[in-house]
Amino acid sequence: METLERIIAGHPFFVDLDPKYTELMVGCASNVRFKRGDFIFREGDPANTFYLLREGKVAVETIAPQHGPITVATLEAGEILGWSWLLAPYRWKHQARAQDNVRAIALDGKCLRGKCEENHDLGYEILKRFARIIEERLEATRLQLLDVYALR
């Protein structure tokens, strides 16, 4: 059976992470599963977790009154779900729903924030990796806003 440590170290988000930091994170990690259609988190709820997706697809949704949920992005195995745990006021800005049966590693954000406060080197490593993800998603959002298929 794969240990949490090996799973975390093998996830693309943590590629080349110093093993001493992986060890520190294992204490904040747990295996989780969601069935197709389950909410992983809901808009406005406290954001104290993030997920390393291992299997299945997740829709990140926003609620449009009179229209229901609108998917703004989709995420798959190998990707990270959620960064609101990292930034005050630690509330989810969107909701996430499993589009398939999903397997993931949940990392307790509160626990990890505590470890990052104690160990700034770990905090800097985590922040660098999340900054890259945030930049990628900001860029993707900008392209979506450009409506690139309409411009000639």
Q: Is 146 in the site for other proteins (CB under 8 A)?
A: yes
Distance CA 125, CA 138 (A): 20
- Shorter beta-carbon distance to other proteins: residue 87 or 143: 143
Q: Is 74 in the site for other proteins (CB under 8 A)?
A: yes
State phi, psi for 26 to the nearest 5 degrees: -55, -35
CA 82 to chain centre: 3
Q: Is 99 in the site for other proteins (CB under 8 A)?
A: yes
The stretch near other proteins (CB under 8 A) out of 2-10, 16-24, 72-80, 107-115 is 72-80
User: Of the candidates 24, 30, 29, 48, which has an alpha carbon nearest to the alpha carbon of residue 121?
Assistant: 24
Distance CA 54, CA 32 (A): 10
Q: How far is the CB of 60 from other proteins (least distance, A)?
A: 8
Q: Is 2 in the site for other proteins (CB under 8 A)?
A: no
Binding string, residues 77-96; x marks residues near other proteins by CB under 8 A: -xx-----------------
Q: Is 82 left (phi over 0), alpha (psi -120 to 50) or beta?
A: left
Q: Coil, helix or strand for 149?
A: coil
Q: What DSSP letter does each residue of 40-66 carry, written as one string?
A: EE-TTSB--EEEEEEES-EEEEEEETT
Q: How far is the CB of 24 from other proteins (least distance, A)?
A: 27
The stretch near other proteins (CB under 8 A) out of 42-50, 105-113, 124-132, 140-148 is 140-148
Q: Is 148 in the site for other proteins (CB under 8 A)?
A: yes
Q: Is 152 in the site for other proteins (CB under 8 A)?
A: yes
Contact positions vs other proteins (CB under 8 A): 57, 59, 67-74, 76, 78-79, 99, 140, 143-144, 146-152
